[in-house]
Structures are given as C-alpha cells and as structure tokens.
Amino acid sequence: MNSLNDLILETNFTTYDFFIVIFYLAVTLVVGIYAKNKIKIIDDFIVAGRKIGTGLGIASMAGTEMGLITIMYSAQKGFVGGFAAFHIALIAFFVTLFVGISGFIIYPLRKTNVMTIPEYYEIRYGKNVRILGAIILSIGGILNMGLFLKVGSMFILGILGFSPSGLMLPIIMTTLLVLALIYTILGGMFSVIITDYIQFVLMSFVILFTTYFSIQYLGWQNIWDTVYIEMGEGGFNPFLDGEFGIEYFFWMIITAGLVSCAIWPTAIARALAMEKAEDVKTQYKWSSITFLIRFLIPYFWGICAFVYFNNNIELGNLFFKEVNGEKLNNLYALPIYLSKVIPVGFIGLLTAGMIAAFMSTHDSYLLCWSSVITQDIISPLRKKELSDFNRIKIVRIIIVIIGLYVLYWGLIYNGSEDVWDYMAITGAIYFSGAISVLIGGLYWSKASQKGAILSLLGGMFAIFGLGPVQDAFNISISGTRIGLLTIILSMVLLVLGSLLFPDENSKGTKNEF
C-alpha cells in the first residue's frame, strides 16, 4: 500500500500552480468587495437580480450550478456508469428546454413577483404553509449540502497529491470552511452576480482545456474501446438494469430534469431575479445547454478517469482491487487522474476554478438556507418585526452554525450511496412535497391549505431512502423507488387533502395568468 501511496503523491501541481490559485482567489475577492462598495442599488441580492439581462442571467445560473460538488458527483457517476450516464445530461437538457419553451412553473411563478418559494406558499396557501414549507426546505436543503465540504476537500486533497488517509482531509475541510465563511461574509450577496460571471468564463475555459488534454492523453478511440471492454453494453445503454435502468430514468426526469431547473431554490432564485417574466423563458432555453454541459463534461472526465486507471494496472489497483477488505473511495478517481494528466500551469487554473466554484456554491447555498430560516421561519413566528440589523445578525449566526454542521456531517456520515444519489434523496425531502404544492398552487384552483400541508409532510418520507436510515429501520428498498413513491404519495395527499378539506375562500391563482 505504501508504493500505491507514493504513486498518489506524484502530481503535476507545482508552486507556479499554487500562485495561480492564490492570485485568482485574491482577484475574485477584490472584485467582489469592489462590487459591494460601488453598486449601492444592490441593497438586496434579489432586487439587484431584477436588474440583470439574459446574458448575465445565464452566466449567473451557470456559475452557480456548475459547482465543484456537481463536477465531483457527476464524475463519480461517469466513473461507475460509463457513457450510459450521459442520459442524465440529455434529460436535464430536454426538460430545461421544455420548461423554457412552455414556461412551466417558472413563468407563472415569476409573474406573482414573489422573491422566494415560501413567500409564494404564503400568498397562495397562507402563513402556516409558508412556515412549514420553509422548515422542510431547510431540513432537506441543509442535509443536501451536508457532503459538499467533504467532497470539495477530497478534490483538493487528490489534486495536491496528499494521502487520503490521515489528518489532511479534516485539515483541508476546516481551511475550506473558514475560506467559504470569510468569502460569504466579505463578498456576500452583493457581489454574487459579478463573481458568478467571472466564474462562468473561467469554468468554461477549464472545461474546454481539460476535455482537450484528456482526449489527447488517452486517445479518443481508446476511451470508447476501454469502456466497451470493461463495462460491456451496460457502459452505454442506460435502460439495462445495473447502475441505471428504467426506474432510474424516470427518477432522473424528476430530479436532474424538473427539480434541478424549476423547483430547486437556488435555480428558482435566478429565474425570479430576471427583469421581465418573458426573459425567464429565454433564460431557460439558453440555460438548457449549460444544464446539459454541467453534467455531460464531468461524466466524460469520470469516464476518462475510469479508462486511465484501467490502462494503468498499478494505480488501477487503488480503485478496483480490495486491500485489507477496502477499496479507495472512487470520488478520489477524478482529482488523482487530473493531477497526473493536466500539465503545469493549466492544473493551477483548473484548481483555482474549482475552488472558486466551491466558494460560489457554498456562498449561494449558505445564504439561501440562512435567509430562508431567518425570513420564512424566525421572522413570521415573532410577534414583533425584526429590524434589518437583527435580521443580518441572525443570518450571519445561522451561516456559521450551518458551516459547523457541514463540517461535522462530512466527518461522521458513512452512507454507501453515490453522492448524486445522496443528494437526490435528501433533496427529495423538500422537493417531493414542493412539486405537488407548487404545481397544484399554480395550475389547480382547488388546491387547499390542508392539502398543501399534508403534501409537504408526505414529502418527508423521502428520508427513508438514505442508507443509514434504512439500516436503522432494517429496510432495504432502493433510494430511487422510495423517491418516486414519495412524490406519488405527496401528489395523492395534495389532491385528497384539497378535496376533503377545501379552503373556505379559495385563493386559486390559476385564473390570474
């Protein structure tokens, strides 16, 4: 195992690359602070957003959604599923395009002029639904980002060539967390649009040169041949049972498709930030390409890592052969592969882009969940209105608490599912109910408050899809099946609840559009 550890330690990352990373992070931070001081109209992130056009809107959406965590979990899927994983990217593309053409959910939602989803719940169903919806949203959302820090740190660890065992992982996790908290507080919500734009440009560049170097190093035909030899038809056909299958395909239409673009709060925030409701459709039509790319390219990198380790017997033993009953976590495959294939200088740019992507995602998510807790739970529950000063103070305290939780969760969680499947299931705690409540609220005038409450509570059953929860209750059903069943349950509960307990004064919004 020692010789294997020596092989991991060999990396193309040099001192030059280290300075590139520091320089890029410093520039981003300075630009962020400059923007914060100059653009006073951005008193509030969402109000500022409503001044942005389609170009910045698409760049901002791509900047947020193309995070390090997305790249890591997607690469993991490519590593284990081969080219068959491409179907998820294709689903994301077609569903986002459909949403863009039809305006499904996003268009009527933008027309209500709400700033957050819980705010819409209050307008449509009442204050109770807003508070309950926000609590469930926070639980699902915070659990969902529980592995972000760990996975991001694994990337840095792998690319710098540190050994996965030992204390380096917690040290990098703590360093990244401190950086993310400083970045969030200093740059804050004021500068998100500008930093997202810079990140979009850098990440696009990174995507293109990393793909080029991968193909050049491994050989185009060799990549396809190796996947065929090692995985057979299963490496290409997503409908074969195994890593994917028909059930998984439908689960992806909901999670990677509809939820990713039209239900998930950080994506919705960009839609609600557009200047005109009509622009939202244009934004989504264009963003369908970035939704395709943000999955497709990391899948390809994961496949390239798979090919690289298959072509290299010594290193391949790390992931394909058990040593002392254990294999190295396949999340390390991408960073270790990149550390050996991407040349000096470029690897610095790549790492800078990835750390910035990590910061940007953390920034958006920390602000999103802390704002939801403050604005939609604490504030409505208080009899006296909170002052702006106190709101900001509470938001900052919650940011630190969530940060500490993410550190703790990353260290203790031992689920065996892929990161993407973990995220789909934890996200389902929120979105299973939200799909029904949002669609019902927007398109069905009979949807009632009690139906919405039942539906939101029903969505919480998705938690049974998590490995450790299944172990605790001694059940064994696939997360995919539990996710799909939970969505059906939430829909049934909304319909039954609304028909059995209709609102006295219907607030249906259907006719408004």
Partner 1 sequence: MNFNIIELEILLRKMTVLFWISLWKFVFIVSIIIFVLLFIYISVKGFLELKSLLKNEIAVK
Q: How far is the CB of 132 from partner 1 (least distance, A)?
A: 37
Q: How far is the CB of 511 from partner 1 (least distance, A)?
A: 35
Q: How far is the CB of 224 from partner 1 (least distance, A)?
A: 6
Q: How far is the CB of 61 from partner 1 (least distance, A)?
A: 10
Residues making contact with partner 1 (CB under 8 A): 35, 38-42, 51-56, 58-59, 62, 83-84, 86, 89-90, 193-194, 197, 200-201, 204, 207-208, 211, 224, 228, 233, 236-237, 286, 289-290, 292-293, 296, 300
Q: How far is the CB of 193 from partner 1 (least distance, A)?
A: 8
Closest of 452, 360, 503, 485 to residue 136, by C-alpha? 452
Cα distance between residue 223 and residue 249, in whole Å: 24
Cα distance between residue 328 and residue 350, in whole Å: 23
* H-state helical runs in 219-324: 220-231, 246-252, 265-272, 277-311, 313-320
Q: How far is the CB of 237 from partner 1 (least distance, A)?
A: 5
Q: How far is the CB of 279 from partner 1 (least distance, A)?
A: 12
Q: How far is the CB of 513 from partner 1 (least distance, A)?
A: 28
Nearer residue to partner 1 within complex by CB, 91 or 137 = 91
Cα distance between residue 207 and residue 202, in whole Å: 9
Q: How far is the CB of 97 from partner 1 (least distance, A)?
A: 12
Give 465's contacts (C-beta < 8 A, 6+ positions apart).
Answer: 425, 428, 477, 478, 479, 480, 482, 483, 486
Q: Cα dist. 23→45, 111, 352 in Å? A: 26, 42, 9
Q: How far is the CB of 481 from partner 1 (least distance, A)?
A: 25
Question: Using alpha carbons only, what angle is made at residue 434 by residues 465 and 118, rounded to the nearest 5 degrees?
Answer: 130
Q: Which residues pair with 241 in a beta bridge?
A: 244
Q: How far is the CB of 101 from partner 1 (least distance, A)?
A: 17
Cα distance between residue 59 and residue 66, in whole Å: 10
Helix, strand or coil for residue 342? coil
Cα distance between residue 23 and residue 20, in whole Å: 5
Q: Cα dist. 354→370, 407, 423 in Å? A: 24, 19, 19
Nearer residue to partner 1 within complex by CB, 40 or 384 = 40
Helix, strand or coil for residue 120? helix
Nearer residue to partner 1 within complex by CB, 288 or 432 = 288
Cα distance between residue 269 and residue 271, in whole Å: 5
Half-sphere exposure of 443 (CA within 13 A, CB side): 13
Nearer residue to partner 1 within complex by CB, 42 or 437 = 42
Amino acid at position 217, single letter? Y
Nearer residue to partner 1 within complex by CB, 276 or 393 = 276
Residue 290 structure tokens: 């970035």
Cα distance between residue 290 and residue 355, in whole Å: 20
Nearer residue to partner 1 within complex by CB, 53 or 468 = 53
Cα distance between residue 228 and residue 360, in whole Å: 37
Asked if 280 contacts 273 with a C-beta cutoff of 8 angstroms, the reply is no
Nearer residue to partner 1 within complex by CB, 42 or 453 = 42
Give 24's contacts (C-beta < 8 A, 6+ positions apart).
Answer: 202, 349, 352, 353, 356
Q: Cα dist. 418→101, 430, 433 in Å? A: 32, 19, 23
Nearer residue to partner 1 within complex by CB, 26 or 201 = 201
Nearer residue to partner 1 within complex by CB, 7 or 90 = 90
Q: How far is the CB of 360 from partner 1 (least distance, A)?
A: 15
Give 427's contacts (C-beta < 8 A, 6+ positions apart).
Answer: 140, 141, 144, 255, 259, 264
Cα distance between residue 97 and residue 101, in whole Å: 6
Nearer residue to partner 1 within complex by CB, 51 or 391 = 51
Nearer residue to partner 1 within complex by CB, 55 or 343 = 55
Nearer residue to partner 1 within complex by CB, 83 or 430 = 83
Nearer residue to partner 1 within complex by CB, 90 or 400 = 90
Chain centroid to CA 155: how far? Answer: 16
CB atoms within 10 A of CB 10: 11
Q: How far is the CB of 362 from partner 1 (least distance, A)?
A: 22
Q: What are phi and psi of 156, to 5 degrees?
A: -60, -45
